[in-house]
């Protein structure tokens, strides 16, 4: 509602993102209504795992050979290698690096909590596959999300056990061995490229700070941002193509900054409230329940995705929110998993059913 009111006050009003955000909340309610018990919630989590596996397999089959043979020691060389490797796949798959990253966190949670050696080895193998898949698009954001999400699962489970430390070490070493060396050259970045041009992410973050007085109070409007305002700002980038120069307005590469630019601090605060309430849906004592452990990894990956992407209507936000709310509403309404309710007498029938 805040976004609608503010967007209406700006020129060239565009309600496309607002309408799609509304659809995402409706979809989240639908997903939450389906997750009424543990098998249903587990099925939803398996969906994230399956998506991560499929994308990882696709990336391995289409890009691994090219990256393995490539040599890159600088950021510019690595970017060129990435364009060549993803030429037949499509640039849209670069944004899908977070899908294998999320799958790795879920698989790791199931692997750590597995009761049999067969299941443990199976899920840890899937974890390694998804980790490799998260690195192959050479997206720095995807790599960081993969590492941070898996680290969250490990610390929530507990790092005091020698077995956990051993598993972590084996996965880390195996990933370093199997991930092509050219991938890591993407981290050899300085704010200024050798040609004297500012790297794109540095440029847009700098533009967000410099233009803060213009959008802090009430934003500039979504339609105006992609139109005249954006074309006159540092978010406008020109490039050569087909013999002439073309241009396009770039996004803020951060959902929170994009919200503020579109609709100001009021909308940004509303978004922060949604994120905080989603966090409150996570029960305590997650290391004792595999489903909660999975939700920890999914939640961290979604928040970090918001930090490196300006896509406001990514479907994984809607699915993740639905899983969090469904688990809180139907399975852990008191915010505690059953095994964490020590010293509180007999379990509530709802917990027994769950």
Tens-place pLDDT, residues 280-295: 999 987 678 999 999 9
Q: Which helix (H) or strand (E) holds 102?
A: helix 98-113
CB 255 within 8 A of CB 299: no
Evaluated on CA atoms 122, 127, 130, 131, the torsion sign reads negative
Bridge partner list, 198:
192
Tens-place pLDDT, residues 90-134: 555 556 789 999 999 999 999 999 999 999 999 999 999 999 999
With cut-offs at 50, 70 and 90, classify the pLDDT of residue 166: very high
Q: How far is CA 158 from the centre of its chain?
A: 23
The DSSP letter of residue 324 is H
Residue with the bigger pLDDT between 340 and 232: it is 232
Residue 269: phi and psi, rounded to 5, are -65, -40
């Amino acid at each position: 509602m805040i976004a609608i009111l503010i967007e209406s006050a700006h020129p060239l009003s565009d309600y496309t993102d607002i309408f799609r955000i509304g659809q995402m909340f409706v979809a989240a309610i639908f997903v939450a209504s389906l997750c009424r018990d543990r098998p249903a919630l587990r099925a939803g989590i398996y969906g994230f795992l399956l998506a991560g596996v499929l994308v990882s397999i696709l990336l391995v089959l289409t890009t691994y050979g090219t990256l393995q043979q490539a040599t890159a020691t600088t950021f510019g060389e690595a970017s060129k290698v990435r364009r060549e490797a993803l030429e037949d796949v499509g640039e849209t798959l670069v944004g899908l690096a977070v899908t294998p990253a999320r799958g790795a966190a879920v698989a790791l949670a199931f692997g750590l909590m597995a009761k049999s050696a067969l299941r443990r080895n199976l899920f840890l193998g899937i974890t390694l596959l998804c980790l490799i898949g998260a690195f192959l698009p050479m997206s720095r954001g995807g790599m960081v999300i993969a590492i941070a999400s898996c680290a969250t699962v490990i610390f929530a489970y507990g790092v005091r056990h020698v077995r956990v430390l051993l598993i972590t070490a084996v996965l880390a070493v195996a990933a370093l061995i199997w991930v092509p060396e050219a991938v890591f050259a993407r981290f050899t970045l300085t704010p200024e490229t050798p040609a004297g041009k500012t790297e794109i992410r540095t440029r847009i973050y700098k533009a967000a700070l410099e233009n803060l007085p213009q959008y802090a109070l009430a934003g500039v409007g979504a339609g105006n941002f992609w139109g005249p305002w954006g074309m006159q700002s540092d978010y406008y980038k020109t490039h050569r193509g087909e013999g002439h120069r073309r241009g396009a307005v770039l996004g803020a590469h951060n959902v929170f900054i994009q919200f503020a630019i579109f609709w100001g601090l009021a909308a940004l605060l509303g978004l922060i409230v949604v994120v905080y309430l989603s966090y409150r849906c996570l029960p305590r004592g997650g290391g004792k329940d595999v489903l909660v452990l999975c939700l920890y990894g999914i939640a961290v990956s979604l928040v970090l995705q918001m930090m490196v992407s300006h896509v406001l209507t990514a479907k994984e936000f809607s699915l993740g929110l639905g899983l969090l709310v469904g688990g809180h509403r139907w399975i852990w309404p008191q915010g505690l998993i059953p095994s964490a309710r020590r010293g509180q007498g007999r379990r509530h029938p709802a917990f027994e059913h769950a």
